[in-house]
Amino acid sequence: MDLISSLALYFCLTCAILFLIGLSYSAIVFWIEKENRASFRATLIALFLPIPYFLSWHYAWEIVAIILFIDFILTAIAFCIPLSTPENRTDSFPKTQIDERDIMFSRNELKPGSQRYEEYYSKNPIRKATDDEFRKEAGLLSKKSIFYNSLAYAASNASFYTVDQFKNAIDGPVNPEKEKISPERMFEFLTGWSKKLGALNIGFTKIENYHYYSHKGRGENYGQEIKEHHKYAIVFTVEMTQEMVAAAPQASIVMESGQQYLEAGRIAIQIGQFLRSLGYAAKAHIDGNYEVICPLVARDAGLGEIGRMGLLMTPKEGPRVRLGIITTNFKVPVHKYQQNHNLLDFCNRCKKCADICPSKSISFDGPKQVSGIKRWQINSEACFTYWAKAGTDCGRCMATCPYAHPDNLLHNSIRWGIKHSPLFRRIAVPLDDFFYGRKPKSADMPNWIKEN
């Protein structure tokens, strides 16, 4: 008994020190992140939680120390119990292709009175009423929009303009002299080079029909069937900086979106030209010139899962990324997709994006059958209508996602716990709500962006 009591007492001292250090570190991290509420609450807990452990050691309260020790052991065991995680929460592989003409970006480009406008709504009359609603609003980057900021909107326009200049470089002639390079060597080179160019992560997958749109919905090739399918895809992510995203839906979010679409486009075009110069057909897919459905390709390449908000959820940055894709006939080593049940389970429980969405476009329900596949489906019409009011691409769902917190020891530890412990997934959202709030306010934009 004396040995057990001694161990329990020193355990209490150790816990008191670790709790004080850990929570103080958390408070400092929150303060650096300008999360005053979270920092204050972490500080309070750091001051009070270690007290019973320290007192038990200082005054040799053996019974209390043993109780605290047993409680800690039982709690640790509970977190290690492999509670069942529902599998196949969503269906893995779509059965049909999506027509790009049906997505909101394509419908937004239809000009009332034009031939395309008349043809589209004669075939899809049910969509005309909802689409006419967003046409009544100010529009993206409009001076009359809610979050108009002259400099930020001009900077965003500059980014999107520059991306548009890339359209003539997404494809090109292929060198007739093909270099012999092993798939393993290409994998190694592209992994290193893409990160040097600015990519966060890179993945490779075999292309399936459902990855491609059935028809083009934007630009001069509008309405054309997409027939030329490459066999493989190279996919990478670029990070949207947390400071710019946190202020969403203010002007900083559309600035960051434009900038990272530009970065993704630049890298994709470089890699595409690199492959063609080696003798392999390759095409870059960039903003405004996609032929593939980026989140699906990225998911199958092992970069994440498609979550409740309809965006790719990466394991480390959450949805706070943009995607770049190059399709090619070079036989790259491919990732075999396996559903990430842990991430999808957390996404199903969280629902924070649905709570915070200004347009109520994100469902609180579980995945449902949509066009023959079980998945989450957002109300894209309501979402885009809010974009047209705000003048930005909103991003509140992205900003408040618990997975989108910054890359540091504190948040990476939370992500590790979510990945490995079913019980931790059950308490992670209430903890996030406790520190950040269930519906946190938008952060302030960086001072250099604010209007005078």
Containing structural domain, residue 30: 1-80
Q: Please report the pLDDT score of residue 3 as a whole number.
A: 74
Same domain, 130 and 76: no
Percent of the chain with pLDDT over 90: 77
Most confident of 1-15, 328-342, 350-364: 350-364
Same domain, 70 and 104: no
Q: Please report the pLDDT score of residue 2 as a whole number.
A: 76
- 370 pLDDT band, cuts 50/70/90, is confident
Task: Classify the phi-psi angles of 105: left when phi > 0, otherwise alpha if psi is within -120 to 50, otherwise beta.
Answer: alpha
Among the candidates 399, 415, 441, a domain finishes at: 399
Same domain, 267 and 322: yes
Same domain, 151 and 185: yes
Q: How many CB atoms lie within 10 A of CB 280?
A: 22
In-domain check, residue 428: no
Same domain, 32 and 168: no
- 422 pLDDT band, cuts 50/70/90, is confident
Kind and range of the H or E run holding 55: helix 50-58
Q: Which two tokens stand for residue 88?
A: 């196949």
Same domain, 335 and 193: yes
Question: Taking residues 298-305, what's their average pLDDT?
Answer: 95
Q: Is 174 exposed, middle or buried (0-12, 13-18, 19+ CB in 10 A)?
A: middle
Q: Please report the pLDDT score of residue 107 as a whole number.
A: 96
**φ, ψ (nearest 5 deg) of residue 117:** -60, -50
Q: Is the pLDDT of residue 1 over 80?
A: no
Mean pLDDT of the chain: 92
Q: How many CB atoms lie within 10 A of CB 414?
A: 17
pTM of the complete model: 0.92
Lowest mean pLDDT among 72-81, 145-154, 313-322: 72-81
Place of tokens 């290690």: 80
Q: Which two tokens stand for residue 18?
A: 């670790």
Among the candidates 378, 399, 420, a domain finishes at: 399
Nearest alpha-carbon partner for 236 in 185, 278, 284, 273: 284
Residue range 32-41, pLDDT digits in tens: 999 999 999 9
Query: Looking at per-residue confidence, does 375 or 370 come out higher?
Result: 375
Q: What type of residue sits at position 435?
A: F
Same domain, 247 and 385: yes
Q: Is the pLDDT of residue 5 over 90?
A: no
Q: How many CB atoms lie within 10 A of CB 442?
A: 18
Q: Is the pLDDT of residue 335 over 90?
A: no
Residue range 92-139, pLDDT digits in tens: 788 889 999 999 999 999 999 999 999 999 999 999 999 999 999 999
Distances (CA, A) of 305 to 42, 195, 339, 349: 31, 21, 8, 15
Question: Taking residues 47-65, what's their average pLDDT?
Answer: 87
First to last CA, the chain: 70
Q: Please report the pLDDT score of residue 172 as a whole number.
A: 95
Question: Taking residues 385-412, what's their average pLDDT?
Answer: 95
Q: How many CB atoms lie within 10 A of CB 274?
A: 15
In-domain check, residue 59: yes
The residues, ordered by sequence, that sit 6+ positions from 9 with a Cβ below 8 Å of its Cβ are: 56, 57, 60, 62, 65
Question: Taking residues 325-343, what's their average pLDDT?
Answer: 90
Q: How many CB atoms lie within 10 A of CB 231?
A: 14
Same domain, 67 and 157: no
Q: Is the pLDDT of residue 208 over 80?
A: yes
Same domain, 19 and 143: no
Query: Which residues, in sequence order, are bridge partners of residue 312?
Result: 306
Same domain, 233 and 274: yes
Query: Which residues, in sequence order, are bridge partners of residue 313?
Result: 305
Sign of CA dihedral 333, 295, 148, 131: positive
Query: Which residues, in sequence order, are bridge partners of residue 24?
Result: none
- 63 pLDDT band, cuts 50/70/90, is confident
Same domain, 47 and 141: no
In-domain check, residue 366: yes
Place of tokens 């972490």: 42
Query: Looking at per-residue confidence, does 335 or 360 come out higher?
Result: 360
Same domain, 57 and 153: no
Strands (E), 65-201: none
In-domain check, residue 340: yes
- 84 pLDDT band, cuts 50/70/90, is low
Q: Please report the pLDDT score of residue 85 as a whole number.
A: 64
Question: Taking residues 234-253, what's their average pLDDT?
Answer: 97
- DSSP one-letter string for 66-101: HHHHHHHHHHHHHHHS-----S-SS-SS-SSPPPGG
How many structural domains does the chain have?
Answer: 2
Among the candidates 34, 52, 80, a domain finishes at: 80
In-domain check, residue 429: no
Residue range 158-207, pLDDT digits in tens: 999 999 999 999 999 999 999 999 999 999 999 999 999 999 999 999 99
Q: Is the pLDDT of residue 87 over 80?
A: no
Nearest alpha-carbon partner for 307 in 241, 376, 381: 376
Contact 346, 418 (CB under 8 A): yes
